[in-house]
Amino acid sequence: MVNGKINLLILITFTILTFLIGRYSDGGLGNQELRYGDTGLPKNCRALITANIKGFYDEIYSADEAINSIDRNCGRYGHIWNEK
């Protein structure tokens, strides 16, 4: 009975700590709004994806060009993930 209560307390503590670490870490916070550099080019993934979608709809980029840009810059090894 005591072991069960201790295990439950450990589980609740772990869950709360995990939630707080995830909530207050800065992962992804640079993508909460559109951000552009001094040159007017997209600086974060939200702005880059928006620019690629607009470019596709305006027939500036093909679907392949837009997807390749998104993958190159915002994919798993994307160049702009660390921009804030």
Q: What is the pLDDT of residues 26-77, one digit of tens each?
A: 555 667 788 888 999 998 889 999 999 999 999 999 999 999 999 998 888 8
Domain membership of residue 23 (yes or no) is yes
Q: Which pLDDT tens digit goes with each residue over 2-19? A: 788 888 888 888 888 887
Total domain count, the chain: 1
Show the tokens assigned to 39.
């040159």
Domain assignment present for 25: yes
* pTM of the predicted structure, to 2 decimals: 0.62
Sign of the torsion angle spanned by Cα atoms 27, 33, 34, 36: negative
- 48 within a domain of the structure (yes/no): yes
CB neighbours of 42 closer than 8 A, spacing ≥ 6? 34, 35, 36, 48, 50, 51, 73, 80
Of the candidates 1, 81, 3, 2, the one whose C-alpha atom is nearest the C-alpha of residue 42 is: 81
Q: What is the pLDDT of residue 28?
A: 56
> Above 80 in pLDDT, residue 22?
no
Q: Is residue 84 part of a domain?
A: no
Res 30: pLDDT: 66
> Is there a domain that residue 52 lies in?
yes
Report yes or no: 74 and 45 within 8 Å, Cβ to Cβ.
yes
Q: Is residue 82 part of a domain?
A: no
